[in-house]
Amino acid sequence: MGPEYGDGTRVVHTVSAGAGEPFLAGPVFASAYHLGGENTYGRSHNPTWRALEAALGSLDGGEAVLFPSGMAAISTFLRVVLRPGDTVVLPSDGYYLTRDLVAELPVTVVEAPTTGPYPSFDGVRLVLLESPSNPGLDVCDIAALAAAAHEAGALLAVDNTTATPLGQRPLELGADAVVSSDTKAVAGHSDVLLGHVSTVDHALAEEVRAARTVGGAIPGPFEAWLAHRGLGTLDLRLTRQAENAAALHAALTGRPEVTGLRWPGAPEDPAHAVAAKQMRRFGGVLTFVLRDAAAVAAFLERSRLVAASTSFGGLHTTLDRRAQWGDPVPEGLVRLSAGCEDTADLVADVLASL
């Protein structure tokens, strides 16, 4: 279904049905050995994967290749596009495991903060962005950086996990590829591990797909089915999460217990001007700083609605103290993922828990 339709219509109709057929994401093919045709082997082909890939590719505006996790997606993509001796530019303030992964590859790594300044891209093979960044929620100008990368002969990819395909379409902004952890808001129910790579370059998609087959990083059919089944409510979930994030941002602004409050949807946020230009919605993730680790623990102990979780984007509101995982941030910095609770209940709970 094309971009002439609204987000809600597009995600609902990623699952279609003819007369007399159920509104289902399709059967779960645990194995495709018996199907024949293009379904020759269970590590290479699966109709359940392809159904979700078609849906995600449509939302991204490209061709999607599904993986069992976001890290499987990004590691496979990096192995495909990078060669020994290549130079890759990474966000110094993005997901820490991406930096750990690239540090093990035989490449030259140049780190730059999401907001810049960026180095010259001359001689660079790949520029990898994460916008909004995790956990700082800084934003970069994807279109401008894509143009600069292409002028220098480099590829540019964007980790779009925080934004989701409904919140931001990097391929339309000039990116060569999108990587995503669909474990988060895309699947959205805190019960699935998945990831994907999307690109407008069919040849690149085929290379990534072939690398998945050889490397064996294949998604579980039931996980793919679960994510596809839940995709129809993505617009509704993201809308409520953003409403809750906006209400929490307003409630937390000026509170003496809270510093460093960030949400790109707030007009006063440093990222807002660029975010408003390229994002279609601002999402449900906020970042702020409490006094220390003990203050975070006390907050979680008092809260009746907020759970400690290192993932985000689910139905339940969750909070994660990022320093415990090695992020170079203050001990009390937390990433709060607003869920789909009633706004008044959530705001009251968070304020009481401070």
Res 17 pLDDT > 70: no
pLDDT tens readout for residues 242-251: 999 999 999 9
Please indicate, yes or no, whether residues 320 and 259 belong to a single structural domain of this protein. yes
Strand-pairing partners, residue 65, are 197
Q: In this structure, what DSSP letter does residue 36 have?
A: B
Please indicate, yes or no, whether residues 319 and 245 belong to a single structural domain of this protein. yes
H/E element holding 211? helix 202-215
Q: What is the CATH number of the domain that holds 240?
A: 3.90.1150.10
Q: Greatest CA separation found in the chain?
A: 64
Active-site entry in 43, 79, 99, 291: 43
- In this prediction, residues 142-146 reach a mean pLDDT of 98
Does 184 qualify as catalytic in the annotation? yes
Using a pLDDT cut of 70, give the percent of the chain over it.
Answer: 99
Domain end marker among 231, 248, 281:
231
**How far is the C-alpha of 338 from the C-alpha of 240, rounded, in Å?**
9
Please indicate, yes or no, whether residues 212 and 130 belong to a single structural domain of this protein. yes
Looking at the domain assignment, is residue 2 inside a domain?
Answer: no
Please indicate, yes or no, whether residues 154 and 286 belong to a single structural domain of this protein. no
pTM, entire model: 0.95
- The two three-digit tokens of residue 253, written as one number: 């602004």
Res 80 pLDDT > 90: yes
Please indicate, yes or no, whether residues 167 and 151 belong to a single structural domain of this protein. yes
Domain end marker among 189, 204, 231:
231
- Edge-to-edge strands of the sheet including 126-130? 63-67, 195-199, 177-181, 155-159, 126-130, 87-91, 108-112
Looking at the domain assignment, is residue 1 inside a domain?
Answer: no
Please indicate, yes or no, whether residues 261 and 218 belong to a single structural domain of this protein. no
What range defines the domain where residue 53 resides? 7-231
- In this prediction, residues 113-130 reach a mean pLDDT of 98
Mean of all residue pLDDT scores within the chain: 95
Looking at the domain assignment, is residue 211 inside a domain?
Answer: yes
Res 193 pLDDT > 80: yes
Please indicate, yes or no, whether residues 291 and 244 belong to a single structural domain of this protein. yes
The number of angstroms, rounded, from the C-alpha of 4 to the middle of its chain's C-alpha atoms is 24
Please indicate, yes or no, whether residues 90 and 188 belong to a single structural domain of this protein. yes
Q: What is the CATH number of the domain that holds 124?
A: 3.40.640.10
Res 33 pLDDT > 70: no
Active-site entry in 95, 169, 229, 235: 95
Domain end marker among 231, 259, 274:
231
Give pLDDT, residue 305: 98
Looking at the domain assignment, is residue 65 inside a domain?
Answer: yes
Please indicate, yes or no, whether residues 22 and 87 belong to a single structural domain of this protein. yes
Strand-pairing partners, residue 89, are 110, 127
Give pLDDT, residue 159: 98
Please indicate, yes or no, whether residues 104 and 137 belong to a single structural domain of this protein. yes
Res 166 pLDDT > 80: yes
- In this prediction, residues 147-159 reach a mean pLDDT of 98
The phi, psi pair for 135, rounded to 5°, reads -105, 0
Please indicate, yes or no, whether residues 102 and 168 belong to a single structural domain of this protein. yes
Does 43 qualify as catalytic in the annotation? yes
Res 352 pLDDT > 80: yes
pLDDT tens readout for residues 309-325: 999 999 999 999 999 99
Looking at the domain assignment, is residue 21 inside a domain?
Answer: yes
Active-site entry in 10, 50, 184, 321: 184
Res 19 pLDDT > 80: no
Number of neighbours of residue 8 by Cβ within 10 angstroms: 15
Active-site entry in 159, 182, 320, 327: 159
H/E element holding 87? strand 87-91
Q: What is the number of domains present in the chain?
A: 2
